[in-house]
Amino acid sequence: MSASAHGGGADEGPRDFVKYTFYQLRPEWRRLPADERARGRTALTSVLEHPPAGLELRTYSLVGLKADADFLLWSIARELEPITLLHAKVSGSPLGGYLDVHHAYLGMGRVSEYVGPAAVRGEGSSGRRSSRGRPYLFVYPFTKKREWYGLPFEERRRIMSEHLRIGHRYHEVDIHTGYSFGLDDAEFILAFEAEGPGEFLDLVHDLRPSEASRYTELETPIFTCVLTPPARMLELAEGLA
């Protein structure tokens, strides 16, 4: 499905970890006194607005968009420690005791063997990852069929060339690939930043007939996320329209 779900290169310099953690707020929180809830939101907002050093954080609302997730924390860091510290602070906040994590995905940046460092611009040319800040983010785990890895490299590169050409038609969709081999359950965690849902829907539609899509094993669950400042994100999760 993705225009960038492919392999990686060897020694490539600095690489980033990416973590996508989806939280759901328990109904019990909404039944607490309003002043207690306000203090809890303020405390967690402070945590999210002041993330640990070395960590890039984006916050997204999924209220009304997914049954078991109210918001997403997207973390990017060179080391795992800042990611661990952030989530410990979230759990330790007054509101943290009322949050459940139903989905969480870990990946790492890597240079694509189908694109390589020679491709100066675009995802796949570096092991570094960074958010573009577009208003919509679409996230899902991805795993290829084992038959894919039995194909000769030149055959895989030919197939991916078509896949990448389709993806490159959508200039306002930014692709972020996290490689999860040995780190998490799926092989990849994929994220797409876009200006609107329609652009991503059309991209996925156009990728469906591609030869590469025949080798897809897993590409669910899929999350549609809306970039939202921390304070407003928590208000929406609580039901404060």
Backbone angles phi, psi at 112, to 5 degrees: -75, 135
Which of 140, 170, 179, 215 is catalytic? The answer is 140
**Calpha distance 181→128 (Å, rounded):** 17
Identify the CA nearest to 7 among candidates 122, 114, 147: 114
Helix (H) or strand (E) holding 157: helix 153-167
Indicate if 149 belongs to the active site: no
HSE-CB of 199 using CA atoms within 13 angstroms: 19
Q: Looking up tokens 């965690």, which residue turns up?
A: 189
Question: What DSSP state is assigned to residue 165?
Answer: H
Collapsed DSSP state (helix, strand, coil) of residue 143: strand
Q: Output the CA torsion 150→128→18→161 (10° steps).
A: -30
Residues 6+ away with beta carbon under 8 Å from 186: 105, 141, 142, 143, 180, 218
**Alpha-carbon separation of residue 50 from 33, 85, 93, 235 (angstroms):** 26, 12, 14, 18
Catalytic residues: 140
